[in-house]
Structure 1
Amino acid sequence: MRIAHPRARRSVREPVEPGLTAPCRVDRRTKNLTKRIKPGEIAVIDHLDLDRVSAEALVAKRVGAVVNASPSSSGRYPNLGPDIVLAAGIPLVDACGPDVMAIPDGSTVRLDEGALVVDGRVVAKGSVQTPQTVAATMEQARAGLAEQLEAFAGNTMDYLRRERELLLDGVGVPEVRTVLEGRHVLLVVRGYHYKDDLKALRPYIREYRPVLIGVDGGADALLESGYLPDMVVGDMDSVSDRALASGAELVVHAYRDGRAPGLERLEALGLPAVVFPATGTSEDVAMLLADDKGASLIVAVGTHATLVEFLDKGRSGMASTFLTRLRVGGKLVDAKGVSRLYRSRISTLQVALLVAAGLLALAVAMSATAAGQVFFIYLQDRWADLWFRLGGLFS
């Protein structure tokens, strides 16, 4: 029998298919998808004009690629999301069509040059985005920004007509048990740079003890930073059960007709809540509530401050944020402004304790030396002499 030499044996390897092969997570709501996707998995979304917050959440999850059923940038306005995804080195495939959303969640897929392959079959194909294509789209979007400004102004006037009583007179603001009168309020939205802002505001929070209001996921942001929220405001769709059960007062943002889908979740958890029917966003509702209840200052973390950020939110309701900021007026301060201008105040007691600690350290150091011991003996003699003289005056 002839036996082949071991070196003659060759391992047979299966050919490696090109592209990225990984499990995919499919969800039409990007913020829901980012809660469960794992690093390296492919995010399949349907997000027209990918905004900055969603893009940063995908980058933070270290996804392997982003496949969008819709255009990540339609050219309506210069949205910030696509550039953030590409800058992180994550492939972005756009406009794959609605069929891509039918892929079973969690199934293994292969992404190769814009084609999404499942079980050897191409189920969708889109356009691979590059920094050059995104830059060209942004240039076109800036040219058409005037149309978006006109639409924004129209939405603003429409909101003013529908909510003028709430904006001007506070009609419809519910009663709450949390005392806001004359206090600072820290309003946290899980938006732009909220983690950095909360870290920078630690001295301010420690000294002023503001009322902490979390807007939906902002309540979880407070918990992650080591704070317990005093109040949670929102439609309750993106806040955890842990935050809801933290003991904070719950204010459910409802539709103007009274429908409040978030209330059903709280009733199932057995948690009491206050309902606030209003048009607009949950952060608007929180600001109006704080202003109506007499807050002396509202410090906003992660909220929207510029026109591009308003448009980047991707909905006409952002007009309400613009009017709400006009309504709140000088009470509203962005967190970045507070962190730049605020300096921790040092009390007289703290200065006295610091001086006493310095003198004590000096005394201990001197007592350990021969010269210091002679000096202390001299002080004792002088003190005894002074005490003897005082006693002679009163004898």
Structure 2
Amino acid sequence: MKLSGLLHRSRPELPGRTGVARVDRRTDTLLRRLKPGDIVVLDQIDMDRSTADALVAAQVAAVVNASPSISGRFPNLGPEVLVSAGIPLVDGVGAEALHTVKDGSKVRLHEGVLYSGERVLAKGVEQTPDSVADALVEAKAGLAHQLEAFAANTIEFMRLERSLLLDGHGVPEVEVELADRQVLVVGSGFDHTGELARLRSYIREYRPVLVGVGAGADALLAAGHKPDLIVGDPAEVSTEALACGADVVVPAFADGHAPGLHRVQDLGAGAVTFPSSANPEDLALLLAHHRGAAVIVTVGLSASMTEFLDRGRSGSNASTFLTRLQLGGTLVDGRILGSLYRSRVSAGAVLLMISAALVAVLAALLVSDAGDAVLAWLSQGWKGLVDQIKGVFG
């Protein structure tokens, strides 16, 4: 008995990364229940950067994809984010893995093979920085086809949503006042947390209306700001955010059906619906625009062509393109604002003015009978004032 226990304890550990399997075909649902060290099993062709950023933030141990993470249709950014973060990515294990791998079970990943103990559950191709870079180069050839499909979808979206885009027909009434106000719209795209942090001084100084799109509402709360307006599927928003007192706008289908509306109503919060085929980000922008916002600043929303196509949803991209075209010069990218914004009275200017005043005081002291105690008091006060100013502006 003792010998058996000794042999069991001395058995070498199997190689690879181990963790709890989190399995779900619905990526949005999966992302909300991840914990550090989980091994994720999903099915997402052309993994986008937003999904990859969420996986990195959740500190998962590895990602196993039933589909190709880069199909070659266009150069999507998600795989590069994962491998750069040191998270193993195994591609093309097949849809059957979503049934073979049991959610919540302990699994092990080694060299592209997913195991339960020593039993093989799924096999795929483990991506490396070199393989991802090569695939992205080849994928650029698919851009022409994507742009052709995008042009067709743009025409169709314009036909369906012309009255909304041009005249604001269907835009719901909300209690928060938007006319002639600056509006900050926060989504959950790439580096939205960092962008929001860099706009801290802007928010403090200008007090814009804060709009959270989906998980962007929780990003605002996490940064210490209460959203004034929430736009998106309530299933993507925490209970805390939905119950914070913000106006809630729920996207709806053309027939008026709004998935997730009952969740807001169950919380006792008020909500209005916004029937449209546009994505929630664009609905938030159009609402602010047609309600008379003076300036609309975006955080975590697609900006470049690469990010734009990275979504992989042609209809959604048509919505975004036409929305940005309609908003024109009122739209400001938060990344640009964050890099250019300076408080109207800088810390250096304040210190310079105080220094000039102190020089005058010290000059007067030098020709007076003031003692060393006064000088010591001034020196201590100066140090404290500098520390306070650094806290305010830094």
TM-score between the two structures when normalised by the length of structure 1:
0.86
- The alpha-carbon deviation at position 343 of structure 1 amounts to 2.4
**Letter of the 1:272 counterpart:** G
> Which residue does 2:378 correspond to in 1?
none
- Relative to 1, partners in 2 of residues 1:364 and 1:153: Cα closer, same or farther, differing over 3 Å? same
> Which residue does 1:321 correspond to in 2?
320
> Which residue does 1:335 correspond to in 2?
334
Taking the aligned partners of 1:261 and 1:126, their CA distance within structure 2 comes to 35
Taking the aligned partners of 1:323 and 1:232, their CA distance within structure 2 comes to 22
1:21, 1:108 within 8 Å by CA — same for their partners in 2?
yes
Taking the aligned partners of 1:39 and 1:325, their CA distance within structure 2 comes to 37
> Which residue does 1:136 correspond to in 2?
134
- Relative to 1, partners in 2 of residues 1:343 and 1:112: Cα closer, same or farther, differing over 3 Å? closer
Taking the aligned partners of 2:47 and 2:350, their CA distance within structure 1 comes to 55
- The alpha-carbon deviation at position 210 of structure 1 amounts to 0.6
Taking the aligned partners of 1:124 and 1:352, their CA distance within structure 2 comes to 63
- The alpha-carbon deviation at position 354 of structure 1 amounts to 8.0
> Which residue does 2:389 correspond to in 1?
none
**Letter of the 1:319 counterpart:** A
- The alpha-carbon deviation at position 257 of structure 1 amounts to 1.9
Taking the aligned partners of 1:315 and 1:374, their CA distance within structure 2 comes to 75
Q: Tell whether 2:32 aligns with 1:35.
A: yes
Q: Tell whether 2:16 aligns with 1:23.
A: no
Taking the aligned partners of 2:330 and 2:7, their CA distance within structure 1 comes to 75
Which segments of structure 1 move beyond 6 Å, counting only runs of 4 or more? 350-354
Q: How does 1:52-131 map to 2 (within 5 A)?
A: 52-102=49-99, 103-131=101-129
Q: Which moved more, 1:77-86 or 1:39-48?
A: 39-48
Q: How does 1:1-395 map to 2 (within 5 A)?
A: 13-102=10-99, 103-316=101-314, 317-346=316-345, 355=353, 359=357, 363=361, 367=365, 371-373=367-369
- The alpha-carbon deviation at position 353 of structure 1 amounts to 11
Aligned residues: 363
Taking the aligned partners of 1:303 and 1:276, their CA distance within structure 2 comes to 20
- Relative to 1, partners in 2 of residues 1:334 and 1:10: Cα closer, same or farther, differing over 3 Å? closer
Q: Secondary structure at the match of 1:22?
A: strand
Q: Tell me the percent identity.
A: 53
1:25, 1:37 within 8 Å by CA — same for their partners in 2?
yes
- The alpha-carbon deviation at position 362 of structure 1 amounts to 5.5
- The alpha-carbon deviation at position 19 of structure 1 amounts to 2.2
1:185, 1:290 within 8 Å by CA — same for their partners in 2?
yes
1:235, 1:254 within 8 Å by CA — same for their partners in 2?
no
Structure number with bigger Rg = 1
Unaligned runs of 5+ in 1: 1-8, 376-395
Taking the aligned partners of 2:38 and 2:221, their CA distance within structure 1 comes to 27
**Letter of the 1:31 counterpart:** D
Unaligned runs of 5+ in 2: 1-5, 372-394
CA deviations on 1:313-365 (whole Å, 9 max, x unpaired) are 12122210000000111100101121233222139xx9899857864686479
TM-score between the two structures when normalised by the length of structure 2:
0.86
- Relative to 1, partners in 2 of residues 1:237 and 1:374: Cα closer, same or farther, differing over 3 Å? closer
Taking the aligned partners of 1:353 and 1:17, their CA distance within structure 2 comes to 62
**Letter of the 1:75 counterpart:** G
Give RMSD over aligned pairs: 2.4
